[in-house]
Amino acid sequence: MKIVIYGASGHGKVVADVVSAMAEMELVGFVDDYVVKRRKSVGRFPVLGGEEALSEILRKGIEGAVVAIGRNDVRLKKADMLERMGFKLVTAIHPSAVLAGDVQIGDGTVIMAGVVVNASARIGCHVILNTSATVDHDCILEDGCHLSPGVHLAGHVSIGKGSHVGIGTCVIQNVTIGEWSIVGAGAVVIRNVASGKTVVGNPARELCKHA
């Protein structure tokens, strides 16, 4: 399948590497509203234009797309736009990732090199499992969440829609992290995190807001 990547940042470069490693995918180029104003290519792939170029890309028979935007809310909005236009949001999985046979993965999710997902885990749509993250048995990751590089989830962890778990974080078993929450880099999460909260530290605690 011929595909485009929406987003040509550093994250987009990594997604391009994942897609290029998949035999069934042919990456045609990037779409990016800002990069196109500064340069014509990213690595060996062209920047085809911004959002205004999408209709023409679709008319040329390029129907596959991946959204490579790290910010979770923007990624979900762009994915929704592409789907409404008629693009198929594809799942990109690096060949070095190790996935149990019964893992469920939604459309538009990207799984980077070195990721391990164990038995009966359920991964939603437009999720990012970044480099060397591990997801143990029976975890549930809702749409649009992002596990940064080196995150480790024990069994039966639930991550809510749109939440971001920072690099190097560890989450013990049976913990729930609510929707649109942020877990700071290197945190150790040993208790539930309510929706919309930011937690940091070891053990992870809610970040206090000062006047």
Give the active site residues: 137
Token reading at 149: 């590089």
Which residue is associated with the tokens 């997902």? 117
Token reading at 9: 């940042």
Of 37, 32, 2, 7, the C-alpha closest to 20 is 2
In our burial notation (b when 16+ CB lie closer than 10 A, e otherwise), range 112-142 reads bbbbbbbebbbbbbbbbbbbbbbbbbbbbbb
* DSSP string for 44-64: TEEB--SGGGHHHHHHTT--E
